[in-house]
Amino acid sequence: MSLAAGIARRAGRRALSSVPALFGVIVFTFLLMRVLPGDPAVFFASGPNAGQAEIQMIREQMGLDKPIPQQLLLYLKDIATGNLGRSMNTGQPVVTDLINRLPASLELTFTALLFALSLALPLGILAALKPNSLIDHGVRFLCSLGVCVPTFVSGLLLIYAFYYILGIAPDPTGRLDVFAAQPPVVTGFILIDAALAGEWESWRAAASQLVLPAATMALFVLAPLARMTRAAMLAVMTSDFVRTGEALGLSRRRVVLVYALRNALLPVITIMGIVFSTMLGANVLVEKVFSWPGVASYALDALLTSDYAPVQGFVLLMAFIFVLVNLTIDVLYGLADPRVSIE
Amino acid sequence: MKLNRRHLLAGTAAVATAPYLGGRAEAQTRAETLRYVTGAAVNTLDPTMPGSTREAFGVSVNVYDRLVSFGRKQRDGNWVFDIDNIRGEIAEKVDISPDGMTFTFHIRKNAKFHDGTPVTAADVKWSYDRAVSARSLAAAQIGTGSWTKPEQFTIVDTHTVVGKIDKPDRLALPNLCTLYAIVFNSTLVKKHVTPQDPWGQAWTKDNTAGSGAYTVESFRPGEQVILRRNDAWTGGVDGKPAPFRRIICQTIPEAATRASLIEKGDADLSIDLQPSDIDTLVQRGRVKAISTPQFNAFSMIAFNTKMPPFDNKKVRQAIAAALPYDSLFKAGLFERGAKLYGGTWSGTPNDASFPQPMPYKQDVAKAKALLTEAGFPNGFDTFFAFNLGSAAFAEPIAALVKEALAAINIRVEIQKLPDAQISTMVTERKLPFFIETSIAWLPSTDYFFRTFLYGPQRWNYSGWNDQRIADIAEKARFETDKAKYDAACKEMIAIMAEETPIVMLWQPNQDAVMPKNIDGYTYGYHRQVDFRDVKRT
């Protein structure tokens, strides 16, 4: 069986087995939102004479006047037709909101992950090659710092230093400077869209907006990645095949980067998957501080006002992405270590 | 193409000038653009939609016109809206009959919608019919001005509309100035109506059909709205278009970020910075703050008069006497506002206006005596709630309330609740007492009482229903004699001071922060920025 076919078969089986989990997530979130204290109809009844009549009107508008089992059935039917309901906070269909906002979150998360990996891998390897040296302690210090400082503090500090004092960063307000031209939307990723349209001015503007929030997020996830790389490398460096390689007189560079690193990558990839999913949903503080129009801040706003539809839509999206990420990780496993795909 | 030296030089020159030209064009539009930053978001372009946010109100004021609008006046050196000075917006003239029950509106001949079609009496009639009949926020509001059914509005000719009410209502005309009484381009909206949606409400949520000073260039819900000036607008005081060519209304959730944007000159106006930051910002000298006490709003501690022991008047009076007002004002608001405590009158007030300073002051001995009289010599246990969203100012207040009430043996536990939860608990009357800020668009004494101190609506925070207030307020509403009206208002204020369903604390300032070259900012009844007043000098 070829490698590709094996991977495809495993991916298919994984996708199929995740359907019950997704269904469970839908029902669970639906019920959870409804047992939370707080009635959205009351909150949104903001008119100057908001009485029972207006509350009832909003309740009907949100479909909350029906019994809960019926609401659930209607909701499942809507999901099957690709309708996730309407957000009261933005006044838009949830699907539209998520489609508009997900690329923003993904673009930020990918960039941050790239930053983090390009820093964490070399640092982790260096620390593992010289355990308990000055470099090792330096890396440990940096990682602890990254984890200890909450993201909104590091975000505000970066803004203060690079925007307010030095003035070299653009104003921290979303994905693109408000005065820059918006490239035509194709993928929703501004960097890609601007490149496709050949609008390099916009590309540069968007890229410069990305640097600070991505750096803030990268700092926070540096620790798990670097520490995991170090631990895995330490284990691998003491193993037999590395000793054999060194005994055979292979160059240090070849031993470390080709033989040791590839074998140490498996746990790092696992952690990477977890880190990615966490970043996407949990970086609401970074999104708030940098006014980033992402899905996490969208879900938080909805949660505060008990706006059911967006929260449910968000959780469903996250569950779906988690399934996708796990699939991708599986595929990457196969590439990093062909033994894994032989079942 | 073969590359030679001439081509290369020309190319280099073009590359070198391109960014320069771009920069100049941008600088020019920047000066003509107002960038307004806010923590809240616009969720609809139709302000009458149930659930629309305050920011949505602000945008609609600039996009739609009404027949009439409030003028403005100076109050302690700042511009504020003036409910007693009503000017024409789409109407060039309003004739009011001597009995105060018939209003004849003469529409400007040169008033045009954004698509260039003239504003006619049919549009006005359709819009008002929509306001009183559609399921929206408008009906409840303009109902407070006796506008309740379509038959009240009749078309006389293309440019004349008549509105009739049954009794002379002092709030009839002011209600038509509010942002719910907007005039739609009825021909345009009617193209988008369906049998289920006879008023085109689904369409107006994301589209506009107005005649106002600005058109909507782009609308990204929850992120930003960009407005472009309508050069054909004639509804202004001087009939001229608005000063700024473009308005960017952007949502920036973090207050600290908004503050640095303004200070760096990258943004031009914000009205929702942290009160604690304003002094520092102004002292650094790069920006100015226009601080206006929100004279149609008030912060209060409301008692649930339906829940023991707060159903006992003496308990409420005891707490009112135990609160350390000055410390609360300092800790919560940094004294940025107007006091509504420490009034010097007793019995009946000298003044019929409301809200006004109430005769409450801290007197612990009196509080203890009142509590003993109420039958709680050893105090009781209760909890005090506030909205998580206003924790910045409510948290220190809650701590002080807890400390002050401990002195009279009332043991208080503090609860922070998220938006939807606290609204629900208030409406279901499940909270014993809590802090809240609220606002009335039309600052008229009987209106305040009808909205906040009587009736079943959400804004009657204390659930207080005193028949005396109901009788007086309903009568005062239609009272045309000023002396009798004032007497009625004073009587209601006196009853409230005695019964203490809520303790009035203060009117917080609205601190509008802007660079020094921005001028003309006016405090509006909707607590939003009317971009039509603002200019760069």
pLDDT at A3: 66
- Tokens 């309508």: give the residue: B230
Residue A200 tokens read as 């390099």
pLDDT at A337 over 70: yes
- What confidence tens digit (pLDDT) does each residue in A113-160 have? 999 999 999 999 889 888 888 989 999 998 888 888 888 888 989 999
Inter-residue contact A111 to A283 (CB < 8 Å)? no
**Nearest 5 degrees, angle CA B27-CA B32-CA B35?**
90
Q: Could you say which of A39, A163, A288 has the minimum Cβ distance to residue B253?
A: A288
- Amino acid identity of residue B41, one-letter, is A
Most B-contacting residue of A171, A202, A212, A307 (CB-CB within 10 A), to test interface:
A171
Total residue length of chain A: 343
Most B-contacting residue of A33, A34, A35, A49 (CB-CB within 10 A), to test interface:
A49
Q: In 3-state terms, chain B is what percent helix, strand and coil (to 5)?
A: 35, 25, 40
Q: Could you say which of B250, B266, B423 has the minimum Cβ distance to residue A42?
A: B423
Distance from CA of B136 to the nearest CA of A (A): 8
- What confidence tens digit (pLDDT) does each residue in B112-156 have? 999 999 999 999 999 999 999 998 888 888 988 999 999 999 999
CB contact under 8 A, A49 and B143: yes
Q: Could you say which of B26, B263, B425 has the minimum Cβ distance to residue A179?
A: B26
Predicted confidence band of residue B199 (pLDDT cuts 50, 70, 90): very high
User: How far is Cα B189 from Cα B199, in angstroms, rounded to an integer?
Assistant: 8
Task: Give the whole-number percent of chain B exceeding pLDDT 90.
Answer: 69
Distance from CA of B373 to the nearest CA of A (A): 36
pLDDT at B19 over 60: no
Predicted confidence band of residue B180 (pLDDT cuts 50, 70, 90): very high
Q: What is the ipTM of this complex?
A: 0.80
- What confidence tens digit (pLDDT) does each residue in B22-63 have? 444 455 578 899 999 999 888 899 999 887 888 999 999 999
Most A-contacting residue of B178, B247, B457, B459 (CB-CB within 10 A), to test interface:
B457
Predicted confidence band of residue B503 (pLDDT cuts 50, 70, 90): very high
pLDDT at B9 over 70: no
Q: What is the pTM of this model?
A: 0.84
Distance from CA of B328 to the nearest CA of A (A): 27
Q: Could you say which of A58, A290, A306 has the minimum Cβ distance to residue B50?
A: A58
* CB-CB neighbours of A32 under 10 Å: 12
Who's near B410: CB < 8 A, 6+ residues apart? Answer: B319, B322, B371, B376, B379, B380, B381, B382
Q: What's B215's DSSP letter? A: E
pLDDT at A310 over 70: yes
Q: Is B520 left (phi over 0), alpha (psi -120 to 50) or beta?
A: left
pLDDT at B515 over 90: yes
C-alpha of A326 from chain center:
13
Burial A78-104 (b: 16+ CB within 10 A, else e): ebeeeebbbbbbbbbbbbebbebbbbb
Q: What are the chain A neighbours of B456 within 8 Å (beta carbons)?
A: 51-52
Predicted confidence band of residue A56 (pLDDT cuts 50, 70, 90): confident
pLDDT at B2 over 50: no
Q: In 3-state terms, chain A is what percent helix, strand and coil (to 5)?
A: 75, 0, 25
Q: What are the chain A neighbours of B254 within 8 Å (beta carbons)?
A: 156, 288-289, 291
Inter-residue contact B130 to B254 (CB < 8 Å)? no
Q: Could you say which of B220, B257, B455 has the minimum Cβ distance to residue A289?
A: B257
- Count of CB pairs separated by less than 8 Å, A with B: 160
Residue A18 tokens read as 């995740």
Predicted confidence band of residue A18 (pLDDT cuts 50, 70, 90): confident
Q: Does the CB of A270 have a partner CB in chain B at under 8 Å?
A: no
> pLDDT averaged over chain B?
89
* CB-CB neighbours of A250 under 10 Å: 15
* CB-CB neighbours of B227 under 10 Å: 27
A303 forms beta bridges with none
Q: Could you say which of B223, B425, B456 has the minimum Cβ distance to residue A174?
A: B223
Q: What are the chain B neighbours of A303 within 8 Å (beta carbons)?
A: 418
CB contact under 8 A, B423 and A52: no
Q: Does the CB of A286 have a partner CB in chain B at under 8 Å?
A: no
Q: What are the chain A neighbours of B528 within 8 Å (beta carbons)?
A: none
